[in-house]
């Protein structure tokens, strides 16, 4: 992982096992089904530059990763393997950044090697190494930023190369994700507390790094703040806040690992020698880790912006380097290698066990958005209507696009507004929203009734947000013939409901959709068949 080969037999064994483990973390499960956010990333990136800007105005993300993904797709295609390979490269870059960070802060290559190990074996890093999202990139950039910060403000680097690296990596980080601002925020606080004489230089460089994204994206960011894209996040409970610092390695492994490092640091003779040396860099790493997580968690007390398993990766390079330095210096070599082998083995076993499960979902093996899309591609005929409820459309559209079937079906989203932001939905149904949904259901139902009258079937994604779905589903049940329900599971659906064309649609049934519905049904029944229909 970095240019250091452990000299002892146990550590050589760990080195070989680690390389095999990294290959497993990257390769096993790389063909797993895409899920909502991954599919949405692909669909946005496929639009080109102007389409990316327009798509993200309705989301809550920044454009950096999407621009890279767009270029990557043009070169390597849009299969699951091709798309996940980009995140795999960023994962390897994150391992390297953590390793070099640990080497520079710890003062020796062995500390760097273990720092890279504890980054590579973090379930948070492994999960995002196969996630078609920006988080692996975010982890890598956070590590490089911490390294550049340490060299510029603690190790006396005054070169233009060092300043340029700091500017470029932080500009890229700020263009990748809003949470990267907490990386710079933690660095600012570290300068204020530990190196105030450098404050003016830090502020000047940080502002220069932030200027491009503020000037180019600022107006769009104001729109994003107001668009409701984070309204689905629930306020954090005290338990989640307390366990946020353990999600890098899992609850029990994190407790054991942190405890092992603490005991080695405080009780071993090597740990005592390490404490007597200049440990300023170690304190800075600990502070960067704690502050970059504490700040957003405090903000969550006012407005929820945290979601487990994703954003905390900004702090992973710092904690991996800190653990690597402490254990490399303080723990007995054979014991440390043995603990790491157990840790690695647990990660490998978990990777094989979850190789078919889509990231961030807990579906049974064989059930996914891909399975449902393949079922519809096999059983629905050209011109049939596919009705997407909740957040089911993005993944289906990805697989329809892969099958060159983008225009095979009539696609309807309910509520329709979700078609404009496939990555989030408002599942609330306050009284003031009920009237609008009833009117929309009447319009959509009339259109679907007309499509069915033309001899086509209607396929409804159901099982999530039942209160909202029931508004449209009740109208379809009254007007069409429900043929069968298929127990196909996805993150946002639990069944597909198949409706057959009715024998006839009476005026009274058509009128049940609302005023003007009879005319709407008649027009829908006369719609031309989609391309590819028989």
**133 shares a domain with 221:** yes
**374 shares a domain with 346:** no
In whole angstroms, give the CA distance from residue 225 to residue 232.
13
Please report whether residue 361 resides in a domain: no
Please answer whether residues 429 and 470 qualify as being in contact, where contact means their C-beta atoms are separated by less than 8 angstroms: no
Please report whether residue 126 resides in a domain: yes
**468 shares a domain with 349:** no
Please report whether residue 360 resides in a domain: no
Q: Are strands 458-462 and 385-389 parallel, antiparallel or unpaired?
A: parallel
- Residue 207: exposed, middle, or buried by beta-carbon count in 10 A (0-12, 13-18, 19+)? exposed
What is this structure's pTM? 0.91
State the angle between helix axes of 9-27 and 109-120 in degrees (0 to 180), rounded to the nearest 10: 30
Please report whether residue 534 resides in a domain: no
Residue 234: the pLDDT is 73
Cα→Cα distances 76→21, 73, 90, Å = 25, 5, 16
Residue 519: the pLDDT is 52
**405 shares a domain with 323:** no
**Number of structural domains in the chain:** 2
Q: Is the peptide bond before 415 cis (omega within 30 degrees of 0)?
A: yes
**307 shares a domain with 378:** no
- Residue 17: exposed, middle, or buried by beta-carbon count in 10 A (0-12, 13-18, 19+)? middle
Comparing CA positions, the residue from 181, 184, 177, 211 lying closest to residue 60 is 177
Question: Hey, is 177 helix, strand or coil?
Answer: coil
**Tokens 């093996």 belong to which residue?**
365
In whole angstroms, give the CA distance from residue 523 to residue 43.
31
Residue 529: the pLDDT is 36
Neighbours of 220 (CB within 10 A): 15
Residue 6: the pLDDT is 53
**187 shares a domain with 137:** yes
CATH number reported for the structural domain that contains residue 515 in this entry:
3.40.50
**401 shares a domain with 314:** no
**386 shares a domain with 322:** no
DSSP state string for 343-392 = HHHHHHHHHHHTTTSPTT--PPTT-SHHHHHHHHHHHSPTT-EEEEETT-
Please report whether residue 185 resides in a domain: yes
Please answer whether residues 188 and 202 qualify as being in contact, where contact means their C-beta atoms are separated by less than 8 angstroms: yes
| Per-residue buried b or exposed e for 403-415, using 16+ beta carbons within 10 Å of the residue's own CB | eebeebbbbbbbb
Please report whether residue 204 resides in a domain: yes
Please report whether residue 531 resides in a domain: no
Mean pLDDT for back-to-back runs of 10 residues, the chain (534 residues): 60 94 96 95 94 92 97 96 97 98 92 97 96 97 97 88 96 97 97 93 97 94 85 72 84 90 82 64 90 89 80 96 94 93 95 86 87 97 96 97 96 94 87 90 94 94 92 92 94 96 58 52 44 31
**Tokens 């530990």 belong to which residue?**
194
**Tokens 């550049």 belong to which residue?**
148
Comparing CA positions, the residue from 89, 23, 28 lying closest to residue 355 is 28
State the angle between helix axes of 269-276 and 316-330 in degrees (0 to 180), rounded to the nearest 10: 120
Token pair in block for residue 362: 């807990």
**376 shares a domain with 347:** no
Domain that holds residue 343: 19-227+236-353
**Tokens 């304190």 belong to which residue?**
283
**458 shares a domain with 309:** no
**143 shares a domain with 71:** yes
**162 shares a domain with 244:** yes
Last residue of a domain, one of 288, 322, 353: 353
In whole angstroms, give the CA distance from residue 289 to residue 274.
20
Residue 5: the pLDDT is 47
Please report whether residue 533 resides in a domain: no
Last residue of a domain, one of 293, 323, 353: 353
Please answer whether residues 333 and 114 qualify as being in contact, where contact means their C-beta atoms are separated by less than 8 angstroms: no
Q: Is the peptide bond before 101 cis (omega within 30 degrees of 0)?
A: no
Please answer whether residues 428 and 451 qualify as being in contact, where contact means their C-beta atoms are separated by less than 8 angstroms: no
């Amino acid at each position: 992982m970095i240019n250091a080969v452990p000299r002892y037999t146990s550590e050589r064994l760990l080195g070989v096992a680690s390389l095999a483990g990294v290959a497993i973390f990257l390769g096993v499960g790389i063909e797993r089904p895409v899920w909502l956010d991954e599919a949405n990333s692909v669909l946005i990136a496929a639009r080109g530059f102007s389409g990316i800007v327009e798509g993200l105005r309705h989301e809550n993300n920044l454009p950096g990763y999407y621009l890279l993904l767009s270029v990557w797709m043009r070169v390597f295609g849009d299969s699951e393997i091709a798309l996940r390979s980009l995140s795999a490269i960023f994962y390897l870059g994150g391992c390297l950044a953590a390793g070099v960070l640990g080497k520079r802060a710890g003062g020796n290559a062995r500390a760097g090697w273990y720092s890279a190990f504890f980054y590579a074996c973090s379930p948070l890093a492994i999960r995002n190494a196969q996630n078609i999202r920006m988080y692996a990139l975010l982890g890598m950039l956070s590590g490089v930023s911490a390294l550049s910060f340490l060299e510029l403000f603690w190790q006396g680097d005054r070169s233009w190369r060092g300043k340029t690296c700091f500017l470029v990596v932080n500009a890229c980080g700020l263009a990748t994700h809003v949470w990267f601002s907490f990386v710079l925020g933690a660095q600012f606080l570290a300068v204020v507390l530990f190196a105030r004489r450098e404050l003016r230089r830090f502020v000047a460089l940080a502002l220069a790094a932030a200027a491009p994204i503020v000037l180019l994206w600022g107006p769009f960011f104001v729109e994003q703040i107001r668009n409701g894209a984070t309204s689905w996040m629930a306020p954090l409970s005290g338990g989640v806040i307390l366990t946020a610092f353990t999600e890098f390695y899992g609850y029990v492994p994190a407790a054991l690992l942190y405890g092992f490092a603490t005991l080695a640091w405080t009780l071993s003779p090597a740990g005592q020698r390490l404490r007597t040396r200049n440990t300023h860099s170690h304190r800075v790493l600990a502070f960067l880790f704690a502050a970059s997580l504490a700040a957003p968690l405090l903000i969550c007390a006012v407005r929820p912006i945290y979601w487990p398993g994703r954003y905390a990766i900004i702090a992973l390079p710092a904690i991996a380097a800190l653990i690597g330095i402490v254990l490399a210096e303080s723990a007995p070599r054979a014991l440390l290698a043995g603990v790491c082998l157990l840790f690695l083995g647990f990660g490998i076993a978990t990777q094989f066990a979850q190789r078919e499960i889509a990231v961030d979902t807990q579906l049974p093996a064989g059930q996914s958005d891909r399975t449902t899309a393949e079922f519809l591609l096999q059983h629905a005929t050209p011109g049939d209507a596919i009705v997407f409820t909740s957040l089911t459309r993005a993944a289906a559209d990805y697989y329809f696009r892969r099958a060159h079937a983008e225009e095979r079906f009539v696609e309807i989203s309910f509520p329709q507004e979700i078609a404009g932001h496939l990555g989030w939905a408002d599942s609330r149904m306050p009284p003031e929203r009920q009237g609008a949904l009833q009117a929309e259901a009447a319009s959509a139902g009339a259109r679907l009734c007309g499509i069915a009258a033309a001899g086509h079937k209607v396929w409804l994604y159901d099982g999530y947000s039942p209160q909202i779905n029931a508004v449209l589903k009740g109208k379809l049940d009254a007007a069409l013939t429900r043929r069968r329900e298929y127990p196909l599971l996805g993150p946002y659906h639990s069944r597909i409901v198949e409706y057959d064309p009715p024998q006839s649609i009476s005026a009274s049934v058509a009128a049940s959709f609302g005023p003007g519905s009879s005319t709407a049904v008649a027009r829908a029944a006369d719609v031309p068949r989609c391309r590819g229909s028989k």
